[in-house]
Structures are given as C-alpha cells and as structure tokens.
Amino acid sequence: MTQENSDVMNTARLWMIRVNEPGFENWDVFTSWLEADRRHLEAYEAALAEDEWLAHLARGNTVSAWSRPKANADGAASRLRSLFARWPRQAFGGLIAASLAIVMVAVVVMNQGPGMTEIVTPPGQHRTIAMEDGSRIVVNGDSSLSYNPDEPRFVSLDRGEALFEVRHDETNPFVVQAGATRLVDAGTVFNVVSDAGALEVAVAEGAVIYNPEREKIRLNPGDALTRPGPDAPVEVRRIDVTGIGGWHEGILQFQDAPLSAIVRDLARAVGKPIRLADGAARIRYTGTLAVGGSAEEVRVQIAPLLGVTIIEEADGWVMKPANAASR
C-alpha cells in the first residue's frame, strides 16, 4: 500500500468514528469526501469491515480470530459500492444522499461511544496513557496516536513511536494499527515505530503477531522486525531486550545503525530538528546514548561518541563528520 492510500484509509477510519458521534452534522463534507474519489468509498467499506472484525474478537469469537467475518456493515457498504459502479459521476451526490442511511445504521451498531481521542506529542516530550483495560502506552515525542476510550483494546499509531505494556487477554487481543499494518498482542511489552510507511517492531516480553491475516509473523522476546517502506520486504533480527523502549528513560541503544536512523530518534528525544551535512550519512554507530538531560547537555555528550561535530543553528542542529569540522 502506498503512503497516499494509507492516508486515505486513516481518513476513512476517522470518518467512520465521526459519523457516529452524537450531534454529527457535517453530512455535506462527508458526502463531498466520498464523492471526491472512488478509493474513498472503498476505504470506508474497509474501515467498516475492520471495525466489525474487532467487535467479533471482543465478543470472544477466537476460533476464527484471524479471518474477518462478513458483517452487515460490510454488506451494506458493498451494495453502496456496486451502485456507485453503475451510476454516472453526476449522480453520485443524489445516490449518497439516498443510501447514506444504510451506512449510518451499520456504523451506529458497531461504534458506541464518544469517538476517537487523539494524542499528539511535540518533539522532546513524552505522554503516558493509562488504558481502561489496565494496559499502558508511552508515546514518544513527535508522534500521533488515536484510540476510542470505549474500545481500549484497539489503538492506531498514526506516526511516530510508542511503547506498549499490554495486559494480555487471549479472548480479547490488543491490536495496534500502524498504517496498513496490523500488530496483535500475544504478550505484554513491545515497541513500535511508524514513520511514513516504514515500520519497526521490537518485542521485550511475550509475543506480537505481525499482520495475522497475511504474513502471520510471530515476534518473540528479542525479535526486532524492520520494514523500510510500505511495500518493502520485512527483516527480522535478534536484539538485546534490555534496550527496547529505553527512550522513555532517556537511553537510546543502537546496533550498527546508520546516522540517519540515529538522527530520527535523537530529534524525537531532544525536540530539535537535525540534518546531516555531506559525508555524515555514511557514519554508523553501535552503542548507547544518554539523552535524558537538556538539549545542550545531550549535544555535548553524544558528539564525540558518534564521531561528529554538532553545530547549533537557528533552525536546529547540523551534524558533520568530526574530521570535516574545520573544512
């Protein structure tokens, strides 16, 4: 799935929640969004099916947990889609107005509650969320996460990084949606990074199932999965579990990491935009960085460890190889 399609899917999920909110009145805006692109209706249909799948799990139907049931909402949305295919473009508005009640009923049945809560953290700040089911989520800086308080076993990590400490329940799995990827808890502690289609998952305790409906990759303690892009193949490697999620305690650990990846994590931690000067991208690093102090303290401490000079400019930091500092 491309990043554009991923964004459409995320928008569809938000519309599905908003339509069911008490007093919702933005029908014209919703209708215009559905009309704008055929993919919007397809994404809305998929969002309805996802929601029914989660409701299916919540009802304790674990026998077919990895196969989505064809719900009434799915059928209603499919009928809408079939009508779209037969009607000319200029008739879409009237068709939606006449058929919207079918979708509205399906959404009301599947989504009770006040709607989604969005958590957005600025760079350099963390946010801890205590979920109603006893789970805990620590959201890293420069990240966005959304969830429905009435459905605490489903979280959408829209971008950035979060550490999940999950209360395990075999009859009601905890699900993290990161773009088009679904991660299902089979344990307790794991870290997720979602960045413009790229994905990283590291498991400290228990297990996580990556895309249980497709690849069905089980990640055990010490397993780290990386996927550099939305359509790229995944790689699973072994890492030290003690370093997983260490960022929320001011510790970053790296194993032969390129400076570009280190810069991403540093920017979230210290709240500073960081760019690489020519020649710095080839630098790799293995070791631990302490980032719990002030931005200036961090800058002074980490520069010699990384073999770089860090120059502070008006719009952030610039990293350049130490041997090029005087050039």
* The predicted structure's pLDDT at residue 87: 39
188-210 CB burial, b ≥16 within 10 A, e <16: bbbbbbbbebbbbbbbbbbbbbb
| Strand intervals (E) in 206-273 | 208-210, 217-219, 223-227, 235-238, 251-258
Could you tell me how many residues make up the chain?
327
pLDDT of residue 148: 87
User: Hey, CA dihedral for 259, 262, 268, 269, is it positive or negative?
Assistant: negative
Q: Model-level pTM? A: 0.62
On whether the 250-324 domain is CATH 3.55.50.30, my answer is yes
The whole-number pLDDT of residue 54 equals 52
Q: Residue 152: is its pLDDT beyond 70? A: yes
Instruction: Give pLDDT, residue 39.
Output: 82
212-270 tens-digit pLDDT: 988 899 999 999 999 999 889 999 999 989 889 999 889 999 988 999 889 999 999 99
Q: How far apart are CA 138 and CA 157, in angstroms?
A: 12
Residue 62 has pLDDT above 70, yes or no: no
Helix (H, G, I), strand (E, B) or coil at 128: strand
Longest dimension (CA), the chain: 70
The better pLDDT of the pair 257, 83 is held by 257
- Residue 299 pLDDT: 92
- Considering Cα of 152, then 50, then 57, then 100, what sign does the dihedral take? positive
Helices (H), the chain: 3-19, 27-36, 38-58, 72-86, 92-110, 259-270, 295-306
Range(s) of the chain covered by CATH 3.55.50.30: 250-324
Question: 3-state class of 278 per DSSP?
Answer: coil
Lowest pLDDT segment from 209-213, 225-229, 277-281, 321-325? 321-325
| Intervals of CATH 2.60.120.1440 along the chain | 117-243
Q: Is residue 176 pLDDT above 70, yes or no?
A: yes
Alpha-carbon gap, residue 125 to 57, rounded angstroms: 34
Query: Measured between alpha carbons, how far is 210 from 136 in angstroms, rounded to an integer?
Result: 20
Q: Tell me, what's the pLDDT at 262? A: 92
Q: Give tens-digit pLDDT for 85-126.
A: 433 443 344 434 434 433 333 322 223 334 788 999 999 899
- CA 127 to CA 141: how far, in whole Å? 8
pLDDT of residue 190: 95
Q: What is the pLDDT of residue 61?
A: 46
Residue 226's nearest CA partner among 235, 218, 217 is 235
Residue that wins the pLDDT comparison between 158 and 28: 158
Token pair listed for 293: 């102090």
- Give the Cα separation of 118 and 148 in Å (integer): 9
The reported pLDDT for the residue numbered 52 is 61
Measured CA to CA, the distance from residue 155 to residue 228 in angstroms comes to: 22
Pick the CATH number of 117-243 from 1.10.150.130, 2.60.120.1440, 3.40.50.2000, 1.10.10.10: 2.60.120.1440
Percent of the chain with pLDDT over 90: 41
Q: How confident is the model at residue 47, as a pLDDT?
A: 76
Residue-averaged pLDDT of the chain? 78
Residue 18 in this model has a pLDDT that exceeds 80: no
Q: How far is CA 174 from CA 4, 169, 242, in A?
A: 26, 8, 23
CA distances from 26 to 15, 19, 21, 31, 116 (A): 10, 8, 11, 9, 16
- Please identify which residue in the block is written with the tokens 């579990």: 241
Is residue 4 scored above 80 in pLDDT? Answer: no
Buried b (16+ CB within 10 A) or exposed e, 91-112: ebeebbeebbebbeebbeebbe
Say which amino acid occupies 261: A
Whether residue 209 is predicted with pLDDT greater than 60 in this model: the reply is: yes
